[in-house]
Amino acid sequence: MGGEGSIQSMITILRNNKSLLRRKSLFRRESGFRRLRNEYRKYDEGRIESKPISQKELSEIREKIVKQNRRTNFRSSVLAIFLFALTIGFTIKLYNNLKRYQLEAEATIMKGKTEKYLFYIEDGDKWLEKGHFNNAIFQYLLAKEIYPSEYNVNYRLVIAYGGKCKYEQSGCTEGHRILKNLKAQFPEKSELYNLSNYFD
């Protein structure tokens, strides 16, 4: 009877192995892979089990969807308004910056033109004091190119042409023309009427 011990040990091993296996309960759930495979088969065969939805549940779902849509639309509207306001603000700021830059550039140009104008006037006055009428006229004409309608430069041109007409007997026609235009533009300037003597 030497085999009884080995048989008894085999029975014990089988019991232990069986206890190691997953125990099945009354509420047994199938393994994940097996359950997914069965659900896929049902879906593939068009046998998905679904219970009918009541009218009340449908209306609740509809209300929920409507609320979600309203919320989404509200957020989209707020975002659109914010982006629009941001764009308008950025555009206004950019326009103001460009305008300021333009004004600064114009002021710089005007300052440079004014400096040149004053230089030509002063240099022309120096030549006029020395009796160099051609040089004075040349400088005054350069100043007139910068500010053509400026009274002071035209007045000086009349004096320079008047001196040239009186002492060199030339430039009388041009001086008289400028004087006539000045009288038409500035009739209140009494000193202009005294300059007619240069061209008589």
Domains of the chain and any CATH numbers: 112-199 (1.25.40.10)
Under 8 Å CB-to-CB from 174, ≥6 apart: which residues? 161
Kindly report which listed range (27-31, 124-128, 184-188) carries the lowest average pLDDT score: 27-31
Percentage of residues in the chain having pLDDT higher than 70? 80
pLDDT at 98 over 60: yes
> pLDDT confidence of 56, banded at 50, 70, 90?
confident
Q: 49 pLDDT exceeds 70?
A: no
Residue 39 above 90 pLDDT? Answer: no
177 has pLDDT over 80? yes
Q: Which of helix, strand or coil describes residue 200? A: coil
Name the pTM for this structure. Answer: 0.53
Q: Does the structure show a pLDDT above 60 at 29?
A: no
CA distance 135 to 125: 10
* Whole-number Å distance between alpha carbons of 149 and 144: 7
Cα separation of 179 and 195, whole Å? 8
The structure tokens listed for 50 are 């679904």
Q: Which residue has the higher pLDDT, 25 or 42?
A: 42
Please give the backbone phi and psi of residue 23, each rounded to the nearest 5 degrees, phi first.
-80, 140
